[in-house]
Structure 1
Amino acid sequence: MELADALQDIITKFAKHLEIKGVDYVFFGSPTGDKLLRGDLDVYSPNEPRFDEAVKTFCQHYQLLLVGKTFHATGVRYDIAFKLEGATYIFPGPDLLKYPTWKVKGKLNVDFTSVIKHRERSPNGYFEPNNHSAFLFYLIKKIDKKAISKLEFDYLVSLYNAQERNIDSALQQLWKAKGSDVALCFKQKDMVGFESISEALFEELASQQSFDFERLFYNIKRIAFRLSKRTGLHVVFMGPDGSGKSTIISLSTPLLKNSFRGVEYIHFRPNLANKSSQSGYSVVSDPHKSKARGYLGSLMKLCYLVGDYFIGYLVKVLPLLVKSRLVMFDRYYQDLMVDPIRYRHKGPNWCLTLLGKIVPNPDLFILMDAPAEVLQERKQEVSIEESRRQRDAYLELFEQLPNAYVVDTSKNIDDAVNETVGILVNYMSRRLTTRNESKLSYGQKN
């Protein structure tokens, strides 16, 4: 089964499950498996608690993993992991709309009670809004984001052509000065013209926006919740040269990125002195070539590194985690303990251990492990004896680290990637079950 077909199957089963559980809903954007390869599934339901429970029972019934629940400005997004032919993928959605659109003069510019009442059954079997409601919702969403693609504009044109008269009237009510201009853009399929007036449309809509205390209160709680229970993930990959760290990171990222609002790759340390996480990093062909610093120089450098890790976490890494980013480190502070020569360190081990207590631990440590003979086949930057020593040192270290996992990278690379992704999604699922998101629940219980 292709990935798009698998996503389509999930959408269909999810819609049926919602109906079995008696949950009213509409899917926006005429979602298909192909579309979900490019974005998430926008859903509106008038009762969030029942919808939330339906998502959980859906995952249980079909043996899926609920790995993410992210509260954002307009709603809450669920991320669901599933397996396809041995590989793990993340279903991008459903994204439940709590505050689906703006209020203009105290009223929603899309009447969602009417949306539910007049919803229609799509050819794919799920409920979606009629063309009039779908057009207004999607148009305002694109204006709010200040971005629209050719594919998205063509979709709006198709909705407009289906109910031109009713939509023209609604556009005139929303934009007194520009309503007819908007209609003309869709009549003439003029995307350039629409983009030229989109900023004016945004400003006019914003000027009519009424203050919403309920939404303000929700956003205050949401931000506080995101600060205390971060939805991003901080992962450290370690291992000797030739163990496959870079390969596993590059192949795992596409399978994981749907559950995050971006991916940040950092080598060894936060590197606050440079804006780019890659600044100052280059491929090392002989890691033991440089002469070690003296005792005092090693101690000073170590203090600098610890400060960079501690302050860098607060200033650089933590904000990314709050913003739901996946932060992946290739090497970390503990590499100093395994291979001090690489970092020109000549100080005592007790000093590394003591100062290391200040360094923030990631959510997960993952060791890329392979026999020394395999490491030497891939890279000959150190002797085989040194490869054996480093491997043993890493394995011993990982017996002491929290949330530490070992992945055998000497086997098939696809198996190693699948195991790595499995470690991350299982951790995310366990983390979610220990959190209490009910305090952010919004909606009435039946």
Structure 2
Amino acid sequence: MWNEICAKIFTEVTYKLEDENIRYFVLRNYKKLPEGNDAKDVDIVIDPKHIKKADAIVREAYSNNDLEYYEECVFDKLRCTHGMSWNQKIGIHIDLICGYRVRGYEIFDFDELYQYVEKYKGFYVLGDYMDGMMLLIYKIFGYKKPLLKDKYREEIYDAYVKYKDEFISETIRLFGRELSVRIIEDISEKNFDDIIKCNKQITKKLKKYAKKKNRFKAFKGHIHFLWQKFEHVILCYRKYKKVIAILGPDGVGKSTFIDELMRQLNTYYVSYPEDRKINLLHFRPNVFPNLGEVGEKTKVMKQDTDFTNPHRSKPANPISSFFRIGYYTLDYIIGWQKVVRADVQNDRITMFDRYSYDFIVDPHRSKLKLPKWLRKVFVRLTPQPGIVFILEADADTIYSRKKELSREEIERQLEEYKLLAKSNKRFVMINAERKPYEMADEASKNILEKYAK
């Protein structure tokens, strides 16, 4: 993902920071910079007094290198910046950190860390000793289930071996003699799993240290962290949500399109599939189980698990249909609050493969036998995605790809989708007779236009 343009941007940012006399340093994973990058992003710790100026420098570097889109997520002391270019098909991720805190608690302030800065290939980095100490602290502190990668374990061990006296002295100062003896012994034996098991004790000791160091600052920082989390996830989550839905008849190529779209978005956001930057859901949030599953558990009916034919079952009677659509609508309303808020908290994109609009276009799939106007009422009750892509192709083309539906049914659904697309600007028609890359490329541009600046 890292290329010559990314290298140029990084160099421009670091040179400009130095020209403006802004103290900074790059935090770990810098060995191959600027030409290469072992990580997905670059972490730059900035003197807190100049964070706004540093932010402007990064934006300017993105603009100077023709990155059309900019997205920033600010939380506590972290500014997560993304520069993206649809024209150049690239993305770069630079995190600006103006204070290294965990849940508002600060162990080392910027001035303390800056004492250990050294120059490397023309830019400033944190020295090996403090880098190892930071890894030991911040990869465990505050986590319920800490995850310490193998390369981080090696870096901690190497720092301990190289700076043994300093390492021992600092752990005693932070954790107290009893706990530090256990930690040092485990590090010397590379027994990091036992250190991870002590995460609650480590967190408790570090909180105590932060409070002792500056009780008011620790209290203020923790309250600020809690307020930002409340504001981000509870009060203003609509401001941060990114929700997309994909619609189209069976056989139009939704699955292939979604795979390619996710690949392209991961490129722009500099993510790997395992990072789960995109949370893909099928039809609904699914906080409630399928009605067939409920019926089987209560021994009222046997669940139909033949999914090869979407119209395999007869529609339910009107009363049962009303209960069914109400049940699914409730799942959308409650599930949206749970799923989308969680995705906002983790800075993820929420993507639906099909959505409640199927109640209008394809009621047979959900076994609904209700008037269209009533189905529309229930759809209006469901939360609406920011962008809805509708894939369209010639009915004969779709039928030749997948014969799960009759040609007449495909034609009918296509007409319904066209009517739906005219009802609101959130709907975007995508010509599905093109290559998946071309379809996803058009969709990616729409997403960047919607959610990036």
What is the match of residue 112 of structure 1?
110
Question: What is the distance in 2 between the residues matched to 1:374 and 1:384?
Answer: 10
**Contact residue 135 and residue 159 of structure 1 kept, 8 A:** yes
Shift in CA distance, 41/281, structure 1 to aligned 2, threshold 3 Å = farther
- Structure 2 residue 63 is matched with structure 1 residue 63: no
Q: Secondary structure at the match of 2:148?
A: coil
Cα gap change, 1:374 to 1:95, in 2 (>3 Å): farther
CA gap of 1:65–1:282, structure 2 versus 1, over 3 A, is farther
| Number of equivalenced pairs | 420
Query: What letter matches 2:242 in structure 1?
Result: L
Q: Which residue of 1 aligns with 2:236?
A: 229
Shift in Å, 1:207 = 3.6
Q: Is the 2:45–2:99 contact (alpha carbons within 8 Å) kept by the matching residues of 1?
A: no
Deviations 1:10-65 (A, max 9, x none): 4334323433454321110133544323x663533322222222232222222225
**CA displacement at 1:186 relative to structure 2:** 4.3
Secondary structure, counterpart of 1:366 in structure 2: strand
Matching of residues 7-26 of structure 1 within 5 Å: 7-26=6-25
SS of the residue corresponding to residue 249 of structure 1 reads helix
Of residues 214, 218, 223 in structure 1, which corresponds to 2:220? 214
SS class of match (2:71)? strand
Q: Which runs of 5+ in 2 are unaligned?
A: 295-302
Q: Deviations over 1:207-261 (max 9, x none)?
A: 4341423213422441243134333321111111122222222333344355787
Return the letter of the residue paired with 2:262. T
Q: Deviations over 1:282-331 (max 9, x none)?
A: 67322233222333333333333323322332344344334433221111
Whole-angstrom CA distance in 2 between matches of 1:391 and 1:18? 55
Counting aligned pairs with the same residue, the percent is: 20
Using the alignment, how far apart are the partners of 2:69 and 2:45 within structure 1? 17
Task: Quote the residue 2:148 is aligned against.
Answer: 148
In 2, the alpha carbon distance for the partners of 1:114 and 1:200 equals 24
State the one-letter code of the partner of 2:281.
I
Measured in 1, the distance between the counterparts of 2:138 and 2:304 equals 40
- The answer to whether the 8 A contact 1:267-1:281 is kept is no
- Structure 1: distance between partners of 2:374 and 2:104: 59
**Corresponding position of 1:354:** 377
Q: CA RMSD in A?
A: 3.3
Instruction: Determine if contact 1:238/1:245 at 8 Å carries over to the other structure.
Output: yes
Instruction: From the superposition, tell whether residues 411 and 138 of structure 1 become closer, same or farther in structure 2 (CA, over 3 Å).
Output: same
CA distance in 2, matches of 1:273, 1:174: 46
Q: Do the aligned partners of 1:66 and 1:78 also contact (CA within 8 Å) in 2?
A: no
Match of 1:128 in 2: 125
Decide whether aligned partners of structure 1 residues 199 and 353 sit closer, same or farther in structure 2, where only a CA change above 3 A counts: closer
Matched, 1:294 2:317: yes
1:331 to 341, 351, 354: 354
Letter in 1 for 2:43: L
- 2:262 alignment partner, one of 253, 267, 276: 253
Task: Go from structure 1 to structure 2 and tell me whether the alpha carbon gap of 1:320 and 1:238 turns closer, same or farther (over 3 Å shift).
Answer: same
Give SS of 2:38's match.
Answer: helix
Further displaced range: 342-351 or 62-71: 62-71
Q: Which segment is superposed worse, 67-76 or 263-272?
A: 67-76
Residue in 2 aligned with 1:44?
A: 46
How far the C-alpha of 1:194 sits from its partner, in A, is 4.3
Show the counterpart of 1:175. Answer: 175
Amino acid at match of 1:121: K
Deviations 1:69-95 (A, max 9, x none): 3233553322332458x5454x34314
Give the Cα separation in 2 of the matches to 1:305 and 1:268: 10
Indicate how the Cα distance of structure 1 residues 352 and 88 shifts in structure 2: closer, same or farther if over 3 A, else same.
farther
Correspondence 1:241 to 2:250: yes
CA contact (8 A) 2:104 2:223 kept: no
Farther-moved stretch of structure 1 (283-292 vs 394-403): 283-292
> SS in structure 2 opposite 1:35?
coil
Aligned to 1:440: none
Q: Which has the higher contact order (CA 8 A, sep 6+)?
A: 1
Q: CA deviation at 1:140?
A: 0.9
Partners of 2:304 and 2:335 in 1: CA distance? 17
User: Residue type of the partner of 1:272?
Assistant: V
Partner SS for 1:376: helix
Residue 167 of structure 1 and its aligned partner are, at CA, apart by 2.9
Counterpart in 1 of 2:136?
Answer: 139
Q: CA 1:388–1:43 in 2, change beyond 3 Å: closer, same or farther?
A: farther
Q: Which amino acid aligns with 1:60?
A: S
Distance 1:376 1:22, change over 3 A: farther
Question: How far has the Cα of 1:173 moved from its partner?
Answer: 1.8
For the 8 Å contact 2:103–2:225, the answer to whether it is kept is no
Partner secondary structure for residue 93 of structure 1: strand
Match of 2:429 in 1: 406
Structure 1 gaps, min length 5: 431-446
**Residues 70, 83 of structure 2: 8 Å contact kept:** yes
Query: 1: distance between equivalents of 2:11 and 2:185?
Result: 36
Q: Deviations over 1:268-293 (max 9, x none)?
A: 12233239xx9989673222332223
Distance 1:20 1:338, change over 3 A: farther
Distance 1:374 1:360 in 2: 32
Preserved contact between residue 286 and residue 335 of structure 2 (Cα < 8 Å): yes
Distance between the aligned counterparts of 1:207 and 1:289, measured in 2? 62
Match of 1:443 in 2: none
Code of the aligned partner of 1:317: V
| Letter aligned with residue 233 of structure 1 | K
Q: Deviations over 1:69-126 (max 9, x none)?
A: 3233553322332458x5454x34314243436999xxx5434214335522223x32
Distance of aligned partners of 1:220 and 1:101 in 2 relative to their CA distance in 1, 3 Å threshold: closer
TM-score, length-scaled by structure 2: 0.80
2:9–2:61: 8 Å Cα contact kept in structure 1?
Answer: no
Alpha-carbon distance in 2 for matches of 1:120, 1:133? 11
Within 2, Cα distance between the matches of 1:232 and 1:17? 33
Q: Please report how far the alpha carbon of residue 427 of structure 1 lies from its aligned counterpart in structure 2 after TM superposition.
A: 1.4
